[in-house]
Amino acid sequence: MTNFRLLYFFVCLQIFPLLANAQNLSDGYSHLFLPTRSYVVYQTIDPIILDGKANETSWENAVWTELFQDIEGPLKPQPAYQTRVKMLWDKQCLYLLAELEEPHVWAYYRQHDQIVYHENDFEVFIDPDCDSHNYFEFEVNAANTLFDLFLPKPYRNGGNPLLTWDAQGFKSAVSVDGTLNDPKDQDKKWTVEMAIPFSSLQSETIETPVPGDGEIWKIDFSRVEWQTEIVDGKYQKKKDDKTGKFLSENNWVWNATGEINMHVPERWGMLQFSKNKINAGKVQFRMPEDEDLKKILWLIYYKQMDFRGKHKEYATNLSKLGVPETVSLDSGKKIKLRLSSLDDQFTVTLTTDDDQAFTIDESGLLEIVI
């Protein structure tokens, strides 16, 4: 069995451990269901001073995330430079500390809301209620220039980013182990520290309360890294000699999405809040019991969107998507699936033997039916 086939089989088992026929159902889509990374965030024990440095006892006690990986997943080469993150919280803010190994630290954008991913940057994506809609994005470059925005829904669903949205009270600081914008020397890393007030995570359509103990958010982090050359003493992004276009950037992330696209909130990592102080007892991350059921709905959603792309209409029944109406779980229980379609919309409903019910529609909105 080739390495790819081994990985494919392993991923199928990891994604849908409940399903006896998981491999057949997920055929062709396993790259979109890579294992989900998680992090338990604890409360601070001393004030966090935003200076881009981890001098506080709270930061010393906090653990690092796993090293970042390519956005497309483990089949791609490992990133050239390491990136990792720590997190803390208190009743006011979520705190982030990101460390980015970098031999040439550069950043020329200095104006708020410039599109800083056109330079090397660090990005944060947050979906507090885990419904894949109404999420927030923060991007900072090594000059500590912020680009913040709110998206009512992902681009794939016709979402229009609100670039004028500003995170009230957001603070960040950057420290450079080296010298910014100096090609004559070699740097070691740059570190960005953020304080994101819970009160800032709101818009006309969503308001985010202070998290409760054990509450889970969807969150992910991305690092954009461009290939550069030095021209007239300044860093410039490299261009293709034939086309004259900039060479493609590298996208290194915490939780891989399986494609070059961060705007798929259902595939982000999971952040679990603990009321424990950072120096108190450790808490085990608890994967939500319904997560595998939601993945079944996401699989059907992807199949339905691909069906429309090929046939110019949505499938009117599950059999056209290769999905049965009843699926047996390894536990012996069964789930029932129902598809309702019109010309430009659809809804898939999943129900379980114990009366749980979930729906997903053409906008990618996944809801629990009360």
What pLDDT score does 1 carry?
Answer: 37
What pLDDT score does 351 carry?
Answer: 96
What pLDDT score does 343 carry?
Answer: 84
Residues 63/247, Cβ–Cβ less than 8 Å: no
For the CA atoms of 38, 43, 49, 53, what is the dihedral angle to 10 degrees?
-40
Residues 167/201, Cβ–Cβ less than 8 Å: yes
- Cα–Cα distance for residue pair 163/176, rounded to 1 Å: 28
The stretches in the chain having pLDDT less than 50 are: 1-13, 20, 22
- Cα–Cα distance for residue pair 315/296, rounded to 1 Å: 17
H helix or E strand, kind and range, residue 221: strand 216-225
How many other C-beta atoms are found inside a 10 Å radius of the C-beta of residue 27? 11
- Cα–Cα distance for residue pair 303/348, rounded to 1 Å: 12
- 37-277 belongs to which CATH class? mainly beta
Q: What are phi and psi of 327, to 5 degrees?
A: -125, 130
CA distances from 216 to 42, 177, 265 (A): 13, 34, 13
Residues 127/135, Cβ–Cβ less than 8 Å: yes
- Cα–Cα distance for residue pair 228/83, rounded to 1 Å: 19
- Cα–Cα distance for residue pair 330/280, rounded to 1 Å: 38
Residues 113/89, Cβ–Cβ less than 8 Å: no
| In the chain, domain spans | 1-33+288-370, 37-277
What pLDDT score does 5 carry?
Answer: 40
Residues in the chain: 370
